[in-house]
Amino acid sequence: MINFSEENVWKLCQDVATRHPSELQYCHVAFISNPRRSVPLWRQRAGKDEDKLVVWDYHAILIYAPDERAVVYDLESSLPFPTHFWKYATETFRSDEALRPEYHRRFRLVPASVYLQQFASDRHHMKREDGTWIKTPPDYPPISTPTCKDNLDSFINMEQGTGLGVVMSLKQLVNRFYRPNVNTQAPMPPQPQAATAT
């Protein structure tokens, strides 16, 4: 499956930085992939069956965690926008225990401020060998930095000690953002514009 989740999340981060700059420190970008680049996620709008299962090569989400509560922004999800972290994790990731090891999800967690400054994609992964688009790109120019045109693979790579941020297992991600003994009412998150690049 093909989408522009990494650009959608970059645009969400940009919106928070512009409209709610003090909240950006509570935002984290999570890239989801694995060495095989084959990660099952449920409750995805592109899913065809009842469970809306999609096997992505990678996917990116925004996690907003101002305190012990957290919410997830996923423009490809069929769940509400945003969704409380625990609901999102249980319905979208479910459990690695029921999956063969080659499908276990890994997560590269990057602070949103770092992502805004460092992410770049020339969208070459969205083109066929003949140069035509697999999926029509967004109408804004590709995201780049003054020194880099494309580093998407460094965010998708789930090898420990490489790239920006930290690589985690599903259990580590859940332990980081879920606190079972707190008020489950979601925090009042910033309301980014839901402009998608899909």
pLDDT of residue 1: 45
Model confidence at 197: pLDDT above 60: no
Average model confidence (pLDDT) across the chain: 89
Alpha-carbon gap, residue 76 to 91, rounded angstroms: 14
| 149 contacts 120 by C-beta, under 8 angstroms | yes
Q: Which residue has the higher pLDDT, 138 or 30?
A: 30
Name the pTM for this structure: 0.87
The model's pLDDT over 116-174, given as tens digits with 9 standing for 90+, comes to: 999 999 886 777 788 887 777 788 888 999 999 999 999 999 999 899 999 999 999 99
Sheet of 71-73: strands edge to edge? 83-84, 71-73, 59-64, 27-33, 106-111, 166-169
Alpha-carbon gap, residue 96 to 10, rounded angstroms: 27
Alpha carbon distances (Å) from 179 to 45, 144, 184: 28, 36, 9
pLDDT of residue 132: 83
| Of the candidates 184, 188, 194, 193, the residue with the CA atom closest to the CA atom of residue 87 | 184
Domains with residue ranges and CATH for the chain: 4-177 (3.10.620.10)
pLDDT of residue 198: 45
Model confidence at 194: pLDDT above 50: yes
| 118 contacts 151 by C-beta, under 8 angstroms | yes
Alpha-carbon gap, residue 54 to 82, rounded angstroms: 19
| Phi-psi domain of 46 (left: phi exceeds 0; alpha: psi -120 through 50; beta: other) | alpha
